[in-house]
Protein backbone atom coordinates (compact mmCIF):
# COMPACT_ATOMS: atom_id res chain seq x y z
CA UNK A 1 0.00 0.00 0.00
CA UNK A 2 2.86 2.40 0.75
CA UNK A 3 4.24 1.89 -2.77
CA UNK A 4 1.42 3.93 -4.36
CA UNK A 5 2.14 6.95 -2.18
CA UNK A 6 4.12 9.80 -3.67
CA UNK A 7 7.55 10.61 -2.32
CA UNK A 8 8.92 14.13 -2.04
CA UNK A 9 12.39 15.61 -2.40
CA UNK A 10 13.81 17.99 0.17
CA UNK A 11 13.47 20.81 -2.38
CA UNK A 12 9.77 20.03 -2.93
CA UNK A 13 9.15 20.03 0.80
CA UNK A 14 11.03 23.34 1.19
CA UNK A 15 8.91 24.94 -1.56
CA UNK A 16 5.71 23.61 -0.01
CA UNK A 17 6.64 24.91 3.44
CA UNK A 18 7.42 28.33 1.92
CA UNK A 19 4.05 28.35 0.17
CA UNK A 20 2.35 27.83 3.54
CA UNK A 21 3.30 31.38 4.56
CA UNK A 22 0.21 32.59 2.64
CA UNK A 23 -2.47 32.72 5.35
CA UNK A 24 -5.29 32.53 2.78
CA UNK A 25 -4.23 28.96 2.04
CA UNK A 26 -5.30 27.93 5.53
CA UNK A 27 -8.96 28.94 5.33
CA UNK A 28 -10.15 25.64 3.85
CA UNK A 29 -7.65 23.65 5.92
CA UNK A 30 -9.00 25.24 9.10
CA UNK A 31 -12.54 24.30 8.07
CA UNK A 32 -11.49 20.70 7.43
CA UNK A 33 -9.56 20.44 10.68
CA UNK A 34 -12.38 21.99 12.71
CA UNK A 35 -14.77 19.42 11.29
CA UNK A 36 -12.35 16.53 11.85
CA UNK A 37 -10.98 17.71 15.22
CA UNK A 38 -12.56 15.06 17.48
CA UNK A 39 -11.38 12.19 15.27
CA UNK A 40 -7.97 13.76 14.71
CA UNK A 41 -7.53 14.25 18.47
CA UNK A 42 -8.18 10.54 19.00
CA UNK A 43 -5.70 9.58 16.26
CA UNK A 44 -3.06 11.97 17.67
CA UNK A 45 -3.57 10.62 21.20
CA UNK A 46 -3.23 7.04 19.94
CA UNK A 47 -0.08 7.90 17.97
CA UNK A 48 1.53 9.63 20.95
CA UNK A 49 0.55 6.76 23.24
CA UNK A 50 1.84 4.13 20.81
CA UNK A 51 5.13 6.01 20.59
CA UNK A 52 5.42 6.01 24.37
CA UNK A 53 5.83 9.77 24.42
CA UNK A 54 3.38 10.51 27.21
CA UNK A 55 3.89 7.47 29.39
CA UNK A 56 5.25 7.06 32.91
CA UNK A 57 8.60 8.69 32.13
CA UNK A 58 6.82 11.82 30.89
CA UNK A 59 4.64 11.97 34.01
CA UNK A 60 7.74 11.61 36.19
CA UNK A 61 9.37 14.49 34.32
CA UNK A 62 6.31 16.70 34.92
CA UNK A 63 6.41 15.85 38.63
CA UNK A 64 10.13 16.65 38.79
CA UNK A 65 9.54 20.04 37.16
CA UNK A 66 6.68 20.76 39.56
CA UNK A 67 8.87 19.93 42.58
CA UNK A 68 11.76 22.18 41.51
CA UNK A 69 12.27 24.49 44.47
CA UNK A 70 13.92 27.41 42.73
CA UNK A 71 11.21 29.44 41.00
CA UNK A 72 13.41 30.65 38.13
CA UNK A 73 14.75 27.14 37.50
CA UNK A 74 11.17 25.76 37.64
CA UNK A 75 9.97 28.34 35.07
CA UNK A 76 12.84 27.50 32.70
CA UNK A 77 12.13 23.77 33.06
CA UNK A 78 8.41 24.35 32.49
CA UNK A 79 9.01 26.49 29.40
CA UNK A 80 11.35 23.82 28.03
CA UNK A 81 8.80 21.09 28.69
CA UNK A 82 6.01 23.03 26.98
CA UNK A 83 8.25 23.76 23.98
CA UNK A 84 9.24 20.09 23.69
CA UNK A 85 5.63 18.94 23.91
CA UNK A 86 4.59 21.52 21.32
CA UNK A 87 7.27 20.36 18.89
CA UNK A 88 6.37 16.72 19.45
CA UNK A 89 2.66 17.37 18.98
CA UNK A 90 3.40 19.33 15.82
CA UNK A 91 5.60 16.62 14.36
CA UNK A 92 3.10 13.85 15.05
CA UNK A 93 0.28 16.14 13.90
CA UNK A 94 2.01 16.77 10.59
CA UNK A 95 2.50 13.03 10.10
CA UNK A 96 -1.20 12.48 10.80
CA UNK A 97 -2.04 15.32 8.39
CA UNK A 98 0.03 13.74 5.63
CA UNK A 99 -1.72 10.43 6.15
CA UNK A 100 -5.10 12.20 6.12
CA UNK A 101 -4.19 13.82 2.80
CA UNK A 102 -3.22 10.41 1.38
CA UNK A 103 -6.51 8.90 2.55
CA UNK A 104 -8.51 11.77 1.05
CA UNK A 105 -6.65 11.43 -2.26
CA UNK A 106 -7.12 7.64 -2.28
CA UNK A 107 -10.84 8.03 -1.57
CA UNK A 108 -11.24 10.41 -4.52
CA UNK A 109 -9.30 8.10 -6.81
CA UNK A 110 -11.46 5.11 -5.79
CA UNK A 111 -14.66 7.10 -6.38
CA UNK A 112 -13.57 8.34 -9.78
CA UNK A 113 -12.50 5.08 -11.21
Does residue 46 belong to any structural domain of this protein? yes
Does residue 7 belong to any structural domain of this protein? no
d(CA 74, CA 71): 5
Does residue 37 belong to any structural domain of this protein? yes
Nearest to 47 by CA among 102, 104, 95: 95
Tell if the pTM clears 0.75, that is, is over it: no
How many folded domains does the chain comprise?
1
d(CA 85, CA 13): 23
HSE-CB at 99 with a 13 A cutoff on CA atoms is 12
Does residue 22 belong to any structural domain of this protein? no
* Domain around 84: 33-112
Q: List the pLDDT tens digit at each of the 113 positions of the chain.
A: 455 777 889 998 898 888 888 888 778 888 888 898 898 888 888 888 888 888 888 889 999 999 999 999 999 999 999 999 899 888 888 888 888 888 888 888 888 87
H helical segments located in the chain: 10-19, 26-50, 56-67, 71-112
Amino acid sequence: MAEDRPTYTAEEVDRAVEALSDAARFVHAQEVVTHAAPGLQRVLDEALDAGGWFGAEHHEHIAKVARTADEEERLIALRTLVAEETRLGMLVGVAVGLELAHELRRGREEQSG
